[in-house]
Chain A
Amino acid sequence: MPLFSGDYYSSSFFDYLVQHRPDLTPGGRGGVPSTPSGQVPDEHRSAAVPPITRATTVLAIKYRGGVVIAGDRRATEGFQIADRRIEKVFKIDEHSAMAIAGAAGPCIEMARLFQTELEHYEKLEGMPLSCEGKANKLGQMVKANLPMVFQGLVVLPIYVGYDRKRDEGRIFKYDITGGRYEESDYYAIGSGGKDARNLIREHFRKDLSEPDALSVALRALYAAADEDVGTGGPDFVRGIYPTAKVVSAAGIVDVEESRVRSVYAALLDGKKREG
C-alpha cells in the first residue's frame, strides 16, 4: 500500500476509494454498472440468480431529548428465513446512528463505509462533520449505489443524529436516488414500514418521554411483524428481540435487551388479558 497516491486533498474516505480503490466501493466498480446498459433484470433472469438476503423493518421516533432508532432481526431470502439475529441498527459515531432496509450485504457494507467516512473526516479535519453534513454525505453514498439498484440491490437507510448546534435529535430518510428528506416526528422503512408507521401515527405525540418512545417503537415493530412476513417479531423461545439505540445529547446508548424483553412481556400480557 503506497503512502502517497497522487495529489489528493479531499477529506472524504469515500471519494478516496472511488478514485484510488474502486474495487473496494459498494458494488466494486465505483458506481459503474456491471451490465453495459444497467438494465433491470427480467423475471427469467432473476429466477436463475440466487436469492438476495434482505433486511426489513426499521424505524426512528423522536422524543423529548433525542431519537429512538430500532429494527427487527429477521433477514429473508425469498420465502426462506436467512438469518434470525441480523443487526440492522448501527452506531455510526458518538452522536449518530443509521438503520438499513434492503439487500443485507450492500447495506452492512454501506454502514461500515459510512462509519469509516465520518471518522476519517474527523481525524483529517480535526473536528467532526455537522449533523447536516453527515446526512448529506450519506445521501451521496446512496446515490452512488443507484446502478446497483437496477440489479436488484436496493440499499435504503434512515439516519438519525443529535444536532448539537440546534440541540435536538433529527431524522433523515432517503430515496434510491440519494434524495434526502428530513422527518419532523418519526419514520419507518422496509417491507413492514407502512404497518409500523400506521401504529406510530396512532400513538405518537410531541415530547414523548424516552420510555414511551421506546415502547411505541417496539410496538410498531410488533405490529409490522404481525402483518409482514419479512419482519421478525420478538422470539421468546429463542430469546431474540428487536434491537434499539437511543441518540441524545449525552451520546448514543444501546437499549439493553432486558428492557426490550420486559416491554414485550408487558405487551403480550395485555393482549392475553384482552383475550
Chain B
Amino acid sequence: MPLPYYVSPEQMMQDKAEYAKKGIAKGRSLIVMEYEDGVLMVADNPSASLYKISEVYDTIALSGAGKYSEFENLRKAGIRHADLKGFMYSREDVTGRSLANAYSQTLGTVFSQELKPMEVEILVVQVGDNGRPNELYRISFDGSIFDERGYAVIGGKSEAGQIFLKERYKNAPPLKEALALCISALENVTNQKLPLEGLEIAVLARDRVGRKFRRVPAAEARRLLA
C-alpha cells in the first residue's frame, strides 16, 4: 500500500482557505447597511427567484455570498434552528447572536474536518427594537465571526466596496440615502450601471409589528429613489 504524501497542516489550511476565497470572490457582491429605522440589504442578483437574502425570524435576516446550494442549506438549517428555539421557549428568546454562533461552529467544523470547505460568506443581521442597537455578524468560510458596525460588504470584490463605503457612510442615514449609497457602491465595484430589476432589496424595518422582514420590489425602490 503506498503511503499518502505528507502535507503539513499549515499548507492544508492555506490551500483550503485559498480555494474558498476564490469561490466566494467569483460571485457578486452584497451590502448590508444600517439606516435610520432598521437595516437595509441590497444584493447584486439578476435572478428574481433564487434569493440571496432571506427572512429567518421576527427581527433576524440572513444574507450570503458564494455557492448557492451551500448557502441554501445553511439558510434552511438556520430557519429550523430559529423556529425550533422559538417554539421550545418563546419568540423573544430567538437571537441573532445565538444563530451567528451556530453558523460559526458549523462553518468552522466543515472547514477543519471536511475535504472541501464551504464556499460561502454569510451575514446574520438583527434589527434592534425597544432601544437596543442593531447587530451585524459576518461569518467567514472558516467559521471566524466578526461583529460589524454600520455596514458590511461580502462577495465579489468586497474590499473595494468596503473602501468605497468607508469614505461615504455616515451614521444611520435615511432609507432613501442608504439605498442610493448601496447602489452606487455596487455600481462602483462592478464598474457598470445596475438596473433596479437586477437588484434584490430587502429591509428589516424596526417600525413593523411582529415579523420585521420585508422585500422591496423594484417599482417601490424606484419610487423611493425618485
Contacts of B137-173 to chain A: CB distance below 8 A: none
| Among B56, B85, B86, residue most surrounded by chain A Cβ atoms (within 10 Å) | B86
Q: Is the CB of B103 within 8 A of A3?
A: yes
Known interface pairs A3-B106, A123-B54, A123-B56. Does A16 touch B80 (Cβ–Cβ under 8 Å)? yes
**B84 at the binding interface (Cβ < 8 Å):** yes
Q: Bound complex: CA of A223 vs CA of B73, how far in Å?
A: 53
Known interface pairs A1-B84, A3-B77, A116-B83. Does A126 touch B51 (Cβ–Cβ under 8 Å)? yes
- Chain A contacts for B83, CB-based, 8 A: 13, 116, 119-120, 123
**A225 at the binding interface (Cβ < 8 Å):** no
**A24 at the binding interface (Cβ < 8 Å):** yes
Q: Is the CB of A124 within 8 A of B87?
A: no
**A21 at the binding interface (Cβ < 8 Å):** yes
- Chain A contacts for B49, CB-based, 8 A: 126
0/1 string, A237-251, CB within 8 A of B gives 1:
000000000000000
**A70 at the binding interface (Cβ < 8 Å):** no
0/1 string, B62-82, CB within 8 A of A gives 1:
000000000001101111110
**A4 at the binding interface (Cβ < 8 Å):** yes
- Chain B contacts for A124, CB-based, 8 A: 76, 79
Main secondary structure of the interface of A (DSSP, over half): helix
0/1 string, B43-68, CB within 8 A of A gives 1:
00000010100111000000000000
**A164 at the binding interface (Cβ < 8 Å):** no
**B102 at the binding interface (Cβ < 8 Å):** yes
0/1 string, A92-114, CB within 8 A of B gives 1:
00000000000000000000110
- Chain B contacts for A17, CB-based, 8 A: 84
- Chain B contacts for A4, CB-based, 8 A: 73, 77, 106
- Chain B contacts for A16, CB-based, 8 A: 80, 84
**B105 at the binding interface (Cβ < 8 Å):** yes
Cβ 8 A contact of B87, one of A3, A113, A126: A113
- Chain A contacts for B87, CB-based, 8 A: 13, 24, 112-113, 116
| Among A3, A17, A24, A126, residue most surrounded by chain B Cβ atoms (within 10 Å) | A3
Contacts of B99-117 to chain A: CB distance below 8 A: 102-103, 105-106
Shortest beta-carbon distance, B1 to chain A, in Å?
A: 32
**B226 at the binding interface (Cβ < 8 Å):** no
Q: Bound complex: CA of A169 vs CA of B18, how far in Å?
A: 56
- Chain A contacts for B225, CB-based, 8 A: none
Beyond the given pairs A1-B85, A120-B79, A126-B49, 14 more chain A to chain B contacts, judged by CB atoms under 8 angstroms and listed by A's residue number, are: A3-B74, A3-B106, A4-B73, A4-B77, A4-B106, A13-B84, A112-B87, A113-B87, A116-B86, A120-B80, A120-B83, A123-B54, A123-B79, A126-B54
Could you show 12 A-B contacts with beta carbons less than 8 Å apart?
Answer: A1-B85, A1-B102, A4-B73, A13-B80, A13-B83, A16-B80, A21-B84, A24-B88, A116-B86, A123-B54, A123-B56, A126-B51
Q: Which of A's residues lie within 8 Å of B, judged by CB?
A: 1, 3-4, 13, 16-17, 21, 24, 112-113, 116, 119-120, 123-124, 126
